[in-house]
Amino acid sequence: MGGTFQALDGGGAAIVLDDIEISILRSLAVQLLELIGPGEPEPAADADPLAALFAEGPSEPPSDPALARLFPDAYGGPAGPQAPGADPAELAAMSAEFRRFTENDLRTRKREDALAVVRSLDAVAPAGGGEAELELTGELPMRWLGALNDLRLTIGARLEITEDDESAQLFRLPDDDPRKPMVMAYLWLGGLQETLIETL
């Protein structure tokens, strides 16, 4: 897995992927879609558009650690901003209120990012030699960037990575460690994310 994103003339990014890399990326994006869950049902034709706009989402944080990493509390908690001397109950109430009005939209965006990855991978077919060039233009580079970030957050939660410097320890895992494939995917996705950021 050695492909990196390169800038395209006129904007966007391109990467050469082999059929195994395409398969891995597609599989990870599909698993992310399954983790995020289905979208909200389409409103009925006679539904009040204003009511749909202000539809409420969940107020409790997800119990799955990976989902909790994707949808963290807005206030307090390990991922939220801290306020010295703030009342934890008040921070929890503020987080619940914020989550109630934002999580549905955030889930939709993350779902659309992962779907964009799946669809763009489905549109490329490896030529002779088993490689294909994928070009990302328009909104696709940002969609891919969002999905790559979400994939790394999810895998990082599964590996229980809490500090950036812990990734150096992951390099030293023995080959027979069952976490090794996930670690390799985590590090590879980090390289893709980094080179995509550089092209933008």
Per-residue pLDDT tens, the chain, 200 aa: give them.
Answer: 457 999 999 889 999 999 999 999 999 999 999 999 886 655 556 666 655 555 676 667 788 999 989 988 887 655 445 555 667 788 888 878 887 878 889 999 999 999 999 999 999 977 666 889 999 999 999 999 999 999 999 999 998 887 655 666 777 888 888 889 999 999 999 999 999 999 98
Going 187 to 192 to 198 to 200, the CA torsion angle's sign is negative
Which contacts (CB < 8 Å, 24+ apart) does range 183-187 have? 183/159, 184/1, 185/24, 185/28, 185/155, 186/152, 186/155, 186/156, 186/159, 186/161
- Tell me phi and psi for residue 46, to 5 degrees: -95, 10
The residues with which 133 forms a beta bridge, in sequence order, are: 16
Contact 111, 36 (CB under 8 A): yes
